[in-house]
Structure 1
Amino acid sequence: MTEPQDQLPHAIPTSHAPARQKAWWSGLALVLVLGGGYWLYSRQQPPPAAPKPIPVKLETVTVERADLEQVVNATGNVVAQDYVDVGSKVAGQLSDVDVVIGEAVKAGRLLATVAPAVQSSRIENNRATLARLKAELAGQNAQLDFAQLQFQRQTQLKAENATREESYESSRMNMYAAAARVDATNAQIQQTEASIREDEAVQKQTRIEAPVSGTIVTLNARPGQMVGANQEALMRIADLSRMTVQVPVSEEDVTRLQKGMTAYFTTPGYPGKRWSGKLRQIMLLPTDDSGRQGKKAFYTVLFDVANPSRELMSGMSADVYFVLARAERVPTIPRSLVTKPGMDGTQTVKVVLEDGKLESRKIKIGIRDGERAQVLSGLKEGEQVLLPANPPAPAATAGAASR
């Protein structure tokens, strides 16, 4: 009865393992079916479109026509072109001053009156000297007459061989000496008479008159003032109808200037107004405070301007422009595009064509001002020039300021 009980557990069948394997194979088949279906589906779909390129905007400038002017810029001052300093011809005291600063005067106009300080005693002394010299001259003339008679007598005696040679020569020497004393006294008399005439003329020169027509610009005379003869300027008369501009120009710029070139200037007193003229002179020596101990040298340049309305006054500051070159209605590009030219005098720029393509061009640059540069060849009006991402430093024009 016990043996059947021992074999009972080994006789029970197991059904879980086959069921698990079946489920695993079913899942694998489902994955393969789904993967194959997705693969077939993806093979039947068109490929995705390529991404569109992002358009790049090119920065360009247009070749435009413009007027250009290349100049040398410097600062100077306006001064009177023609002036005369007036003083007193006699020493004395000013009794009257008849003009004021800014007054226009004509040549010959009375400016001031001087009470002369020439001492009458000096004239009297000269007159006394003159009288003494004339008295001496009378005595010397008598001695000369006697010497001449002695010489004539000795001459006759010598002809008769009745006198010695020494007596003859002595009489001739005495005659010549007497004549010399007469000549010397006559010269002293002439000198004394000239001094008397000069002193008498000085006493009469009490009027100070205008030597030229113009305007009184400085006045250093006051009634009661003591003045010396030809020692100081009491006033200055200037012709303000024409002025001179004095301009110190640096050594690197002055070599580019030449006589006769056009120059113009403005002054703060008249904003927007311009005066022009022609360069008259370039001083050959530097100004007093330049060109020493390693300092840059400056040379004074002069040009004249008309001033019919008397607007300009001496001493006004002037912002001066010397015109080196000028061009009207020429093709131009911004000066920032100008670089150092090559050996052939050209440089390269990028031109944007109508279809958007870029083309390299060689161009030649002419004159330039502070903003634009002239294009002599390589570009036409209206063409588009590409602006570089990092603009190059513009080629400098040595020593020139531009406008």
Structure 2
Amino acid sequence: MSEQHDTTPPRQPAAAHTASRKAALAGGALLAALVAGGVAFWQTRPATPPPKPVALKLETVKVETADIEQVVNATGNVVAQNYVDVGAKVAGQIADVDVAIGETVKAGKLLVTISPAVQNGRIENNRAQLARLKAELAGQNAQLDFAQLQFQRQTQLKAENATREESYESSRMNMYAAAARVDATNAQIQQTEAGIRDDEAIQKQNRIEAPVGGTIVTMNARPGQMVGASQEALMRIADLSRMTVQVPVAEEDVTRLQKGMTAYFTTPGYPGKRWSGKLRQIMLLPTDDSGRHGKKAFYTVLFDVANPSRELMSGMTADVYFVLARVEHALTIPLSLVTKPGLDGTQGVKVVAEGGKLEARRIKIGIRDGERAQVLSGLKAGEQVLLPANPPAPAAPAQ
């Protein structure tokens, strides 16, 4: 017969059971007190005020009156408009240089002296020989006159059969011989005079004089230097009273330029000062190394400016503005408000009307610069235009 085990839990003592019941009753009472306190607090709490509406701040800009111009901007250089390169015409050695860079000279001013390749003694000898030949010519002319008289006399005597034939022929030959000596001496005189003129011309070329008036801007001559007749320029004389601005302009902009339009520029050397002129010429061929192998083409544009005070110097940098259009006292708005126009050429904006209400308008835009655009219609001076929350990219300038 198998053994049986009793699984009934042991009976707790009476004192422990009583303590457990008291703890449960205490916890329930505490919970009830907390609930009652919460209900009372909720019923007696102060009323929470409703949230105030947040006012939406509108950002606007004022329609203003201003002068506005549309330009093409490029960077170029100032160069001399008129200049002459002066070189040597004869070979020799520079003996003296009579001018310096920056000096202003007049036409005919002595610039450089070259040691003469033709010695002065040779010219003097030729002149002495010329004097001797002229003296001989005078004697030969006298002999010729005498020979002619003798021949005339013999001719008369022959007609009267009063002379011999030999005497007649002898006088005739003497006359011819005297005339030949005169012709030979005249030829020698002409040859000597030509030699003297050549020597004097060569000697004159040893003195290099200024062909025009102006300022010496470059100098490649120094005393003791050997030069040849085909020597490169020894110096450059430029007229600095009028300068030319050379500007390389990109191909997409040069088509907007035209001869006679206004252009002005500034230069770092004179901050705040402006020079202006008229576009003179647009070169038809691109500048070197542009427009090849897929590179953008640039074309040289020229315009002239007066420089009476000689402030501008050749080589200065010029920040150039070609004026495409200019309007004075135009209605303008910031360029950030300009968007792509519709088919009718207008675009929309919102204007703050009376009472703070927004009113939709259609406006037409004219010329523009880098910051503002002209308003042709749709707005009045002083009106407030709403700025968009996310400004669109400015529309491209009208061509």
TM range, normalised to the smaller chain?
0.5 to 0.7
Gaps of 5+ in 2: 1-42, 126-189
Paired with 2:99 and 2:72, the residues of 1 have a C-alpha distance of: 42
CA contact (8 A) 2:70 2:369 kept: yes
What does residue 287 of structure 1 align with? Answer: 287
1:198 deviation in Å? 4.3
1:192 deviation in Å? 12
Paired with 1:310 and 1:388, the residues of 2 have a C-alpha distance of: 51
Paired with 2:295 and 2:222, the residues of 1 have a C-alpha distance of: 44
CA contact (8 A) 1:79 1:314 kept: yes
Q: Look up the equivalent residue of 1:339 and give its one-letter code.
A: T
Paired with 1:57 and 1:205, the residues of 2 have a C-alpha distance of: 86
1:281 deviation in Å? 0.6
Number of aligned pairs?
287
Q: CA RMSD in A?
A: 2.8
Paired with 1:291 and 1:309, the residues of 2 have a C-alpha distance of: 38
What does residue 239 of structure 2 align with? Answer: 239
1:224 deviation in Å? 1.3
Q: Look up the equivalent residue of 1:375 and give its one-letter code.
A: V
What does residue 347 of structure 1 align with? Answer: 347
What does residue 217 of structure 1 align with? Answer: 217
Equivalent position SS for 1:55: coil
1:199 deviation in Å? 5.6
CA contact (8 A) 2:64 2:333 kept: yes
CA contact (8 A) 2:367 2:397 kept: no
Are 2:393 and 1:397 equivalent residues in the alignment? no
Paired with 1:319 and 1:116, the residues of 2 have a C-alpha distance of: 49
Q: In structure 2, do the counterparts of structure 1 residues 203 and 110 end up closer, same or farther at CA, with 3 Å as the change threshold? A: closer
Q: In structure 2, do the counterparts of structure 1 residues 55 and 296 end up closer, same or farther at CA, with 3 Å as the change threshold? A: same
CA contact (8 A) 1:92 1:118 kept: no
Paired with 2:296 and 2:204, the residues of 1 have a C-alpha distance of: 55
1:344 deviation in Å? 1.2
Q: Look up the equivalent residue of 1:207 and give its one-letter code.
A: R
Equivalent position SS for 2:355: coil
Q: In structure 2, do the counterparts of structure 1 residues 364 and 194 end up closer, same or farther at CA, with 3 Å as the change threshold? A: farther
What does residue 83 of structure 2 align with? Answer: 83
Query: Equivalent residues in 2 for 1:171-182 (5 A)?
Result: none
Q: Provide TM-score, normalisation by structure 2.
A: 0.67
1:119 deviation in Å? 9.2
Q: Structure 1, residues 265-305: CA drift from partner, whole Å, max 9, x if none? A: 11111111111111111111000120100000000011111
Paired with 1:389 and 1:204, the residues of 2 have a C-alpha distance of: 82
What does residue 371 of structure 1 align with? Answer: 371
1:53 deviation in Å? 3.9
Q: Look up the equivalent residue of 1:205 and give its one-letter code.
A: Q
Q: Structure 1, residues 234-279: CA drift from partner, whole Å, max 9, x if none? A: 1100011111110000000000111111111111111111111111
Paired with 1:228 and 1:321, the residues of 2 have a C-alpha distance of: 46
Gaps of 5+ in 1: 1-37, 39-47, 125-189
Paired with 1:240 and 1:383, the residues of 2 have a C-alpha distance of: 51
Q: In structure 2, do the counterparts of structure 1 residues 192 and 247 end up closer, same or farther at CA, with 3 Å as the change threshold? A: farther
Q: In structure 2, do the counterparts of structure 1 residues 357 and 95 end up closer, same or farther at CA, with 3 Å as the change threshold? A: same
CA contact (8 A) 1:111 1:210 kept: yes
Paired with 1:195 and 1:293, the residues of 2 have a C-alpha distance of: 60
CA contact (8 A) 1:91 1:118 kept: no
What does residue 258 of structure 1 align with? Answer: 258
Q: Structure 1, residues 127-150: CA drift from partner, whole Å, max 9, x if none? A: xxxxxxxxxxxxxxxxxxxxxxxx
Paired with 1:240 and 1:74, the residues of 2 have a C-alpha distance of: 23
Q: In structure 2, do the counterparts of structure 1 residues 230 and 372 end up closer, same or farther at CA, with 3 Å as the change threshold? A: same
Q: Look up the equivalent residue of 2:271 and give its one-letter code.
A: P
CA contact (8 A) 1:336 1:391 kept: yes
Paired with 1:298 and 1:192, the residues of 2 have a C-alpha distance of: 61
Q: Look up the equivalent residue of 1:83 and give its one-letter code.
A: Y
Paired with 1:262 and 1:275, the residues of 2 have a C-alpha distance of: 11
Paired with 1:202 and 1:71, the residues of 2 have a C-alpha distance of: 56
* Higher deviation after alignment, 69-78 or 111-120: 111-120
1:230 deviation in Å? 4.0
Paired with 1:60 and 1:204, the residues of 2 have a C-alpha distance of: 80
What does residue 269 of structure 2 align with? Answer: 269
Are 2:303 and 1:303 equivalent residues in the alignment? yes
Q: In structure 2, do the counterparts of structure 1 residues 355 and 249 end up closer, same or farther at CA, with 3 Å as the change threshold? A: same
Paired with 1:198 and 1:293, the residues of 2 have a C-alpha distance of: 56
What does residue 109 of structure 1 align with? Answer: 109
Are 2:54 and 1:54 equivalent residues in the alignment? yes
Paired with 1:201 and 1:276, the residues of 2 have a C-alpha distance of: 46
Q: In structure 2, do the counterparts of structure 1 residues 200 and 103 end up closer, same or farther at CA, with 3 Å as the change threshold? A: closer
Paired with 1:192 and 1:281, the residues of 2 have a C-alpha distance of: 54
Paired with 2:357 and 2:50, the residues of 1 have a C-alpha distance of: 23
What does residue 278 of structure 1 align with? Answer: 278
Paired with 1:208 and 1:242, the residues of 2 have a C-alpha distance of: 25
1:329 deviation in Å? 1.1
Paired with 2:103 and 2:49, the residues of 1 have a C-alpha distance of: 93
Q: In structure 2, do the counterparts of structure 1 residues 380 and 93 end up closer, same or farther at CA, with 3 Å as the change threshold? A: same
Q: Look up the equivalent residue of 1:271 and give its one-letter code.
A: P
Q: In structure 2, do the counterparts of structure 1 residues 210 and 373 end up closer, same or farther at CA, with 3 Å as the change threshold? A: same
Identity %: 84
1:66 deviation in Å? 1.0
Equivalent position SS for 1:355: helix
1:117 deviation in Å? 2.8
Equivalent position SS for 1:242: strand
What does residue 73 of structure 2 align with? Answer: 73
1:220 deviation in Å? 0.6
